[in-house]
Amino acid sequence: MIEIIPAIDIIDGRCVRLTKGDFADKKVYDASPLEMAMQYADCGVRRIHMVDLDGARRSKPMNMKTLEEVASKSGVEIEWGGGIADDSALASVFNAGATQAIVGSVAALRPAEFSRWLKIFGPDRILLGADVRDGVVAVKGWVQQTGLTLYEQISWFLEDGLKFVVCTDISRDGLLKGPSFDLYAELMEEFQSVIFTASGGISGMDDIKELDRIGVPKVVVGKAIYEKRIKLDDIRAWSLNA
């Protein structure tokens, strides 16, 4: 069964959701990141997807205290992204308790550096964050288009042992209108050695069931949970059967 990975996006230590990656179109939620993480842990979730949006904009991790708190108290594994731009930033994320680091901008703009990290830390700890708008990779908190296609970016790192790719369709993110089913099916067909995580557009459990049906291994879910399109009981039931 597909693994449901709840998302917690953070600005100023608070849970937020953006629409299509637009920082001007954000919604702030009352629950703290730790409160949300504890609720997910109670539902049997093994892993949480956390994004430091302040870090993504400033190209350096900004919410390390939040990461430390969630990592030390929730008991779940954390895949963390946002602002990981150099060795120091990557070390700080791991030292604060992240299980895996999601790297996007460095992979697109300084691929040799990303390849080195894959070799040093191993492909189980370094995830490629492949965020695309109209098939083109976007970086720096999704505000900069690279001209690089998704397929080109993934292909760069196959020889380095790339194992995990978190692929977000920015055009669907936060809209609750369904993910890009065809995109993930095509990616899995093209790159059969890669484990993909679908992200962006999940509107309800039917979307998750369809992703599961076509064989997607993992899915990140954010706004649909906050807006109660997917309830904690749904996640609990799915996690128990996974």
Domain 3-241, CATH: 3.20.20.70
pLDDT in tens, 22-31: 677 778 887 8
Q: What is the C-alpha separation between 226 and 190, in angstroms, rounded?
A: 33
Mean pLDDT, residues 220-232 taken together: 94
What are the extents of the domains in the chain?
A: 3-241
pLDDT of residue 27: 83
Lowest mean pLDDT among 25-34, 41-50, 79-88, 187-196: 25-34
Mean pLDDT, residues 73-81 taken together: 97
Q: Which amino acid is at 143?
A: V
Which residues are known to be catalytic? 9, 131
Mean pLDDT of the residues in the chain: 93
